């Protein structure tokens, strides 16, 4: 259906040709010889001149008797009076009866004139038009680029005749609570009479709130799939165009289309692109276009009757920055939280995505779920796909556990770069750096226990340590502090062993600085600052411009952050200094094996006395 688009670079070509043509025709017109007064007099005397035209009282154009269409010569006039006198005198003297007209002509240089009054504006308009069309063409799917479609919504429609929705609840793992809430909507779409008979009202809008990749789109689609209704999918940013009124017109078009297909579902991804709170931006006083788009959305949602059968689902990862008007009754009055999956959820997501895969018997979903804390559904889908690719690359019959583990590593850290050139000295530094992280985290009660350390470079990182974070909802100051020490352990090891530090700690320092800053300014964990938090959950203050605290407090914050980081570093140095032997053994083992696991640390440092349960249990890989 995609039309062949007119290539707009042609406009440039045409313009260039036109300009060149003008240039040369202009040249052609002035293809006249300049002559001296003497020559002119001679011509006059011979009677060859038919007419002299005076242009702007500056030049005289001399027309010859034979071809009177264009002047043959031009003469630049010094003094007008003298020129006229001379011409008259010569004419008299030579006794020419046929009068030679000296006509006064006012003439603007027509080339420049044309350029300014015609060509430049034309070029400008064409250029604008060109940019405009390009803007339109970009991002719109199929048939884009037509100026007439600008106000049309760009929603993608899934329905029986088009692309059927092939997702149902069984494709959505975990998210049990969300499913329960959303079930009601499915039921309504299936049997609207049941509700309307009793006068019940079904929410018109539901907001799905959660981090990216947690399955919000999937969930919305599955509602359409379950209820077997059409599904309009659009992203908030698709409404936004640089022309005022376009967004609003697209919203109108979308709802019109939806009403015709009712019952149906409209899904708006990234609704924050239009739904951000209005008029809170202190710099430019808000964005008119976005606001008018949002207003139109609100109007549409208020406008359609409760039971027209159009339900709007919208996704965002930050409900707090949305305009409160969006959440009012009759609009998105329901919010469903879609969180990152916990260990059970992850196991189920693995199950869903392993359905179509050929697995070796050693693949253990439970174990994989444990290895992937913090992974979103999308990450896990990615792991499964990556594992399949790896197995295929190695020509295996089935995908085994190691493929999955490699895939996990790869998702975390990028591809292994086995052939990145690292000198023996560098390797030693990296090994001690990573061993420093491993040692400190092993010896600190509240740091996350280590799972694996490697010095195989991956992506940008030269080495990496994996920890198994406990899934905790609140974190104590002590836990945060211990984590900071472990993060500083890399640099501290370099200091302790080599007496010099390197640039290799960049990402550690970044992490630790952010952590310390958050502790001081957000979590109220600093004695000097006290129980204050400068965190703004509404996201509606532009703190980058105006700080909510005084200069003096700012200084204190800087001081405390720096003190905290320094303290953590000194602590790491002191731990490693007193365990130099273990550290060295560990680093040597790393150099030798490149990858070590929790068990290896246990051999060197002994069991962690605080670990009651077996955290590093099934790590044989």
**What are residue 232's DSSP bridge partners?**
157, 266
> Is the bond into 263 cis (omega within 30 degrees of 0)?
yes
Q: Which does 381 bind (CB under 5 to 8 A by kind): ligand ADP, Zn ion, none?
A: ligand ADP
| Token output for 155 | 């929603």
Using CB under 6 A, pick the residue from 216, 331, 370, 458 that binds ligand ADP. 216
| Token output for 611 | 């670990």
Which is closer to ligand ADP, CB of 145 or CB of 215? 215
Q: Which does 215 bind (CB under 5 to 8 A by kind): Zn ion, ligand ADP, none?
A: ligand ADP
Residue 443 contacts ligand ADP per CB under 6 A: no
Residue 214 contacts ligand ADP per CB under 6 A: yes
Which is closer to Zn ion, CB of 293 or CB of 487? 487
Nearest to 274 by CA among 264, 283, 286, 257: 286
Q: Strands 33-34 and 59-64, how do they pair?
A: unpaired
The one catalytic residue in 434, 483, 494, 571 is: 434
Q: What is the 3-state secondary structure (H, E, C) of 282-294?
A: CCCCCCHHHHHHH
Which is closer to Zn ion, CB of 249 or CB of 440? 440
Residue 352 contacts ligand ADP per CB under 6 A: yes
Which is closer to ligand ADP, CB of 399 or CB of 496? 399
Q: Which residue is nearest to ligand ADP (CB)?
A: 377
The CA distance from 485 to 477, in Å, is 12
Using CB under 6 A, pick the residue from 35, 60, 90, 175 that binds ligand ADP. 175
Instruction: For the beta carbon of residue 4, count every other beta carbon within 10 angstroms.
Output: 5
Which region among 89-97, 258-266, 376-384, 470-478 touches ligand ADP (by CB under 6 A)? 376-384
Residue 275 contacts ligand ADP per CB under 6 A: no
Strand order in the sheet with 450-454: 464-467, 450-454, 595-597
Q: Which residue is nearest to Zn ion (CB)?
A: 490
310-329 footprint of ligand ADP as x/- string (CB under 6 A) = -----x--------------
Using CB under 6 A, pick the residue from 145, 203, 213, 230 that binds ligand ADP. 213
List, as one string, the DSSP characters of 430-491: HHHHHHHHHHHHHHSTTSPPEEEEE-S-BTTBS-EEEE-----SS--HHHHHHHHHHHHHHH
CA–CA distances in Å: residue 618 to residues 15, 453, 472, 599: 71, 16, 21, 10
Quick one: DSSP state of residue 308?
Answer: S
Which region among 31-39, 208-216, 429-437, 610-618 touches ligand ADP (by CB under 6 A)? 208-216
Residue 508 contacts Zn ion per CB under 5 A: yes
Nearest to 455 by CA among 314, 590, 261: 590
| Token output for 263 | 């019952």
Which region among 131-139, 275-283, 374-382, 404-412 touches ligand ADP (by CB under 6 A)? 374-382
Residue 434 annotated among the catalytic residues of the structure: yes
Which is closer to ligand ADP, CB of 221 or CB of 276? 221
Using CB under 6 A, pick the residue from 145, 203, 205, 215 that binds ligand ADP. 215
User: What residues act catalytically?
Assistant: 434
Q: Which residues bind Zn ion (CB under 5 A)?
A: 490, 508
Q: Which residues bind ligand ADP (CB under 6 A)?
A: 172-175, 212-218, 315, 349, 352, 377-378, 381
């Amino acid at each position: 259906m995609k039309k062949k688009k007119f290539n707009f670079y042609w406009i440039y070509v045409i313009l260039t040709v036109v300009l060149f043509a003008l240039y040369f025709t202009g040249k052609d017109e002035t293809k006249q010889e300049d002559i001296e007064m003497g020559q002119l007099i001679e011509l006059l005397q011979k009677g060859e001149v038919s007419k002299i035209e005076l242009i702007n009282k500056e030049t005289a154009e001399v027309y010859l008797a034979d071809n009177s269409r264009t002047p043959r010569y031009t003469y630049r006039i010094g003094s007008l009076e003298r020129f006229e006198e001379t011409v008259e005198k010569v004419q008299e003297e030579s006794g020419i009866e046929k009068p030679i007209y000296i006509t006064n002509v006012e003439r603007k240089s027509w080339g420049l004139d044309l350029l300014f009054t015609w060509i430049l504006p034309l070029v400008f308009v064409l250029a604008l038009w060109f940019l405009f069309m390009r803007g339109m063409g970009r991002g719109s799917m199929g048939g884009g680029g037509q100026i007439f479609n600008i106000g049309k919504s760009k929603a993608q429609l899934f329905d029986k005749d088009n692309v059927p929705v092939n997702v149902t609840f069984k494709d959505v793992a975990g998210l049990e609570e969300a499913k329960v809430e959303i079930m009601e909507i499915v039921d309504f779409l299936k049997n609207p009479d049941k509700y309307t008979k009793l006068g019940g009202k079904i929410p018109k809008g539901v907001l799905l709130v959660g981090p990216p990749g947690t399955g919000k789109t999937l969930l919305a689609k599955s509602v359409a799939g379950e209820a077997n209704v059409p599904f309009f999918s659009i992203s908030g940013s698709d409404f936004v165009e640089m022309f005022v009124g376009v967004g609003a017109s697209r919203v109108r078009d979308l709802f019109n289309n939806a009403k015709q297909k009712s019952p149906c579902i409209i899904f708006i991804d990234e609704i924050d692109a239009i739904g951000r709170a209005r008029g809170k931006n202190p710099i430019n006083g808000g964005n008119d276009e976005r606001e008018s788009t949002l207003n139109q959305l609100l109007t549409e949602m208020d406008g359609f009757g409760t039971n027209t059968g159009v339900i709007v689902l919208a996704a965002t990862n930050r409900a707090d920055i949305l305009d409160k008007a969006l959440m009012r009754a009759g609009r998105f009055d329901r919010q469903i939280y879609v969180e990152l999956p916990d260990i059970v959820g992850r196991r189920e997501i693995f199950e869903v995505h392993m359905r179509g895969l050929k697995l070796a018997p050693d693949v253990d979903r439970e174990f994989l779920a444990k290895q992937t804390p913090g992974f979103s559904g999308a990450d896990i889908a990615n792991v499964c796909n990556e594992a399949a690719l790896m197995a295929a690359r190695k020509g295996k019959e089935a995908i085994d556990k190691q493929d999955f583990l490699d895939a996990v590593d790869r998702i975390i850290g990028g591809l292994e770069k086995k052939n990145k050139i690292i000198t023996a000295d560098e390797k030693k530094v990296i090994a001690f750096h990573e061993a420093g992280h491993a040692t400190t985290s092993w010896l600190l009660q509240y740091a996350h226990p280590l799972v694996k350390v490697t010095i195989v470079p991956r992506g940008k990182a030269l080495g990496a340590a994996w920890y198994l974070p406990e899934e905790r909802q609140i974190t104590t100051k002590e836990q945060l502090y211990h984590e900071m020490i472990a993060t500083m352990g890399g640099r501290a090891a370099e200091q302790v062993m080599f007496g010099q530090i390197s640039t290799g700690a960049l990402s550690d320092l970044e992490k630790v600085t952010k952590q310390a800053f958050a502790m001081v300014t957000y979590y109220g964990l600093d004695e000097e600052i006290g129980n204050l938090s400068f965190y703004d959950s509404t996201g509606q203050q532009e703190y980058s411009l105006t700080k909510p605290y005084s200069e003096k407090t700012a200084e204190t914050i800087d001081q405390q952050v720096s003190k905290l980081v320094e303290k953590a570093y000194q602590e790491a140095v002191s731990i490693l200094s007193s365990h130099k032997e273990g550290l060295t053994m560990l680093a040597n083992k790393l150099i030798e094996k490149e990858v070590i696991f929790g068990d290896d640390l246990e051999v060197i440092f002994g069991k962690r006395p605080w670990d009651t349960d077996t955290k590093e249990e099934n790590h044989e890989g």
